[in-house]
């Protein structure tokens, strides 16, 4: 999937990070990714475990793929690292309409805000601790 156009799009980064389950369709096969497993349709082994849906569980695998630490695993100061990595990776991705830049980041912004209790204005954290660093 790393060579697919999917990996270059800004909206898909948000979708991947915020989704508990994702189906990827490639020319060769379909992949399924969730917090418990990653599998593909060509995988011959039967699935022996039934997975329960738990809406309260944070999906961390997707965030780890992008080196975005979650506060449940790291101290509050990890916000700056998560925010910087998120903005850096997101900024490298493409949008069909440049005017979508803020809208396509709002979901990630909302998740960061909820996880770290930080407020944002136009994708910039406005708390004393992080505002100046975000401007750099």
pLDDT digits (tens, 9 = 90+) for 2-58: 567 778 888 888 888 888 888 888 888 888 888 777 788 877 665 555 555 454 555
Residue-wise pLDDT for 20-33, tens only, equals 888 888 888 888 88
pLDDT computed for residue 121 by the predictor: 84
Q: What is the pLDDT of residue 2?
A: 57
Partnered with residue 31 across adjacent β-strands are 24, 40
104-135 burial, b at 16+ Cβ within 10 Å, e below that, comes to bbeebbebbeebbebebeebebeeeebeeebe
Reported pTM: 0.65
Q: Are 30 and 124 in contact, with CB atoms under 8 Å apart?
A: no
- For residues 92 and 99, is the Cβ–Cβ distance under 8 A? no
Residue with more model confidence, 2 or 99: 99
Whole-number pLDDT of residue 94: 92
pLDDT at 60 over 60: no
């Amino acid at each position: 999937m790393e060579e697919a156009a999917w990996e270059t799009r800004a909206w898909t980064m948000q979708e991947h990070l915020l989704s508990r389950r994702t189906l990827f369709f490639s020319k060769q096969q379909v992949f399924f990714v969730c917090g418990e497993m990653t599998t593909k349709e060509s995988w011959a082994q039967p699935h022996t475990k039934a997975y329960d849906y738990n809406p309260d569980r944070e999906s961390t695998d997707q965030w780890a793929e992008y080196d975005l630490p979650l506060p449940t695993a790291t101290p509050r100061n990890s916000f700056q690292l998560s925010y910087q990595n998120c903005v850096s990776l997101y900024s490298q991705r493409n949008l069909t309409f440049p005017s979508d830049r803020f809208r396509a980041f709002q979901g990630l912004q909302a998740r960061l805000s909820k996880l770290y209790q930080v407020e944002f204005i136009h994708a910039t954290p406005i708390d004393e601790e992080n505002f100046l660093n975000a401007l750099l």
